[in-house]
Amino acid sequence: MKQILAVDDSMSMRMLLRASLTAAGFKVEEAEDGRAALEWLDNNSPTLVITDINMPRLDGFGLIAELRARDRFRDIPVLVLTTESSPEKKARAREAGATGWIVKPFDPEKLAAAVRRVTH
């Protein structure tokens, strides 16, 4: 079963992600910010990371940069899930190494399709 790490400082958003992705057949782990995600990733290797951008301690851009700096996570797909939709933010996420971008609120079917697309 494909394991996904959902990183968002909003507990309700993490719960929505868990409900949507579990229903689509994925196993979902959660972290409340980039720091917590990196701590979890020290001992785990998910198939995909979904991250918010605006979070305390370590934001999504910082998390993506940290993942890309580590050999074992250099090629892991990272989807950005955020309320932000500016071209500048999208470009910055791409430059950091994001695989794709999904705007909140998300459609569960489209999210599951995007996850399947990047994790084949």
Share of the chain above pLDDT 90, in %: 93
Closest CA to 5 of 78, 95, 66, 54: 78
120 lies in some domain: no
Residue 21 lies in a domain: yes
In a domain, 63, yes or no: yes
Query: Is residue 120 over pLDDT 90?
Result: no
- Give CA torsion, residues 44, 50, 54, 55, to 10 deg: -30
Assigned domain for 36 exists: yes
Nearest-angstrom CA–CA distance, 104 and 102: 7
Residues 6+ apart with CB under 8 A from 100: 77, 79, 80, 114, 117, 118
Residue 55 lies in a domain: yes
Look up residue 6 and give its two tokens.
């959902």
pLDDT at 84: 84
The mean predicted confidence, pLDDT, of the chain is: 95
Does 118 fall in a domain?
no
Tell me how many domains the chain contains. Answer: 1
For the segment 22-40, what is each residue's pLDDT rounded down to a tens digit? 999 999 999 999 999 999 9
Domain of 55: which CATH number?
3.40.50.2300
pTM score over 0.85: yes
pLDDT in tens, 48-86: 999 999 999 999 999 999 999 999 999 999 999 999 889
pLDDT of 1 reads: 86
For 42, the domain range is: 3-113
**CB 66: neighbour CB atoms within 10 A?**
18
